Structure formats: C-alpha cells, structure tokens
Amino acid sequence: MAEEEAVVVEEVVVQGQKFPDEWDALYSAEGQTAADAPPGYITLFANFFGEGNFRLPATNFMLAILHFYAFHISQLIPMGMVRIRNFEFICRSQGLEPSVARLRVFYQLIRNMGFYSFALRNVKKILINPPKIFHERKMKFLFIREEVMPIAVIFCPSGKTEKEDTPIP
C-alpha cells in the first residue's frame, strides 16, 4: 500500500510539477507520519499541489502568511491551502495584490492539535461553492529539501483547539 501511495505522489506531484532533482523529494516509508520529516527536509501534502493549486517556488503571498502567523507549512492542512490559494486567485482576478491584511478580513486562523487552517469569518462568502473536505482515509505526503521554501519558520508545538481571537481588520 505504501508503495502505491509513493507512486501516486511521484507521478502526480514530483513529475507533474517537474521538481528539479536537487530538491531531492523523498517519499514516506511505511508507518511514517507527516511529522517525521528527516533533518533538512519539510513535509508537503500531495493535496497541496492538486486541490490546493500550490506551486513551487511559493508566492510572496504564501511566504507572507507563513511569516505573519509563524507556523510551518508542514502544519497547514490541505483545506487551509485551498482557502489561501482560492483567496489569492480571487484577488489577482480583480487586479488586487493579495495580502495578509486582506485575507484576515475574510478568514481567521484556526488551530487543532498542532495543525492550522483558515475558517471563514462572519462576513459575506467569497466562494459560493467552496471545495469539499478531503475524504481520503490517509493523506499522501512527501519530504522535500527545506531550502525550497526560502523562509525560516518555526514548527509550532501542538496544543488544544484554538481560533484567532482578533476583530476583523
């Protein structure tokens, strides 16, 4: 089963996104979790690239989010990536530069068991038909050289469920 998952990740993500060899993508071994990245590597979920439309190198907007909220990309759940990228696409389609301040008008950061996402604030919805939650039993992921993300972010310790408690900017 792990071999089949590695083939899917390699074909869909690594080859599909044309990762250079120097990024040295590694596939998870049987029993490894997303938190088991070897030293010098970060974890990226395969869903980031498919449903989340994430691409490397990351956009300045994505790096600004990681810097502002100070969590590691390995701690972002795929649905969080979907929301970030959809917001970025909407801004760009309207001729606006996406920013953390604009994102915070519509979304607030949520944390559950050490993983992060974004929840819609009580404002007008920006997506009429938002994407559905991922129904896969087990998320597929890979490890990639940390230099691919040119920003130093910390891996935040896990904790109880929290929601950003700030007023709408």
Instruction: Report whether pLDDT(44) > 50.
Output: yes
User: Measured between alpha carbons, how far is 115 from 111 in angstroms, rounded to an integer?
Assistant: 6
pTM attached to this predicted model: 0.75
Q: What is the pLDDT averaged over residues 85-92?
A: 93
Contact status, residue 68 vs residue 49, Cβ threshold 8 Å: no
* Residue whose C-alpha is closest to residue 151's, from 39, 42, 80, 63: 63
Whole-number pLDDT of residue 159: 53
Whole-number pLDDT of residue 148: 86
Contact status, residue 59 vs residue 159, Cβ threshold 8 Å: no
Q: How confident is the model at residue 142 (pLDDT cuts 50, 70, 90)?
A: confident
Return the H-helix or E-strand segment holding 84: helix 78-93
Q: 52 vs 20, which has greater pLDDT?
A: 20
